[in-house]
Amino acid sequence: MSVTFPLARLLPNRGVAALLPGDVQVAVFRTTDDQVFALSNIDPFSRAAVMSRGIVGDRGGVPVAVSPMHKNAFDLRTGVCVDDPEVSLEVYPVRVDAGMVMVGAP
């Protein structure tokens, strides 16, 4: 199962929250080079559903989302915390087709 929405609703370097079937919260991010990534929306350190409000950026060539709670950076490609590699976020498959973003459950 997946959720679909227009790519135009996803601004570069911003995130949005989406709800997958089963009440799975995901954070969907678009980078300035139009790559789209989806991670769990739940910050593993604070347990708050805030990752979609994080800052999108780059750490040494690695695209990251930085949690607004404790400022931990997560690799958008793998979900691994750059600041603490023992911690990671769930990564969800994303596909863009004909201007539509499709985010699927793991």
Map tokens 């979900």 to a residue. 79
The pair of structure tokens assigned to 53 is 């409000």
Q: Rounded to an integer, what distance in angstroms lies between the CA atom of residue 41 and that of residue 18?
A: 8
Please list, in sequence order, all residues whose beta carbon lies within 8 angstroms of the beta carbon of residue 23, skipping any fewer than 6 positions away. none
Number of independent structural domains in the chain: 1
pTM above 0.95, yes or no: no
Q: Which range marks the domain in which residue 85 is found?
A: 2-104
User: Taking 50 as the threshold, does the pLDDT of residue 106 lie above it?
Assistant: no
Q: Which CATH number belongs to the domain containing residue 81 in this structure?
A: 2.102.10.10
For residue 85, what pLDDT is reported?
96
**In terms of pLDDT, which residue wins out, 31 or 105?**
31
Distance CA 94, CA 80 (A): 17
Q: What is the pLDDT of residues 38-79, one digit of tens each?
A: 999 999 999 999 999 999 999 999 999 999 999 999 999 999
Q: How many CB atoms lie within 10 A of CB 92?
A: 22
Q: Which amino acid type is present at position 4?
A: T
pLDDT score of 104: 84
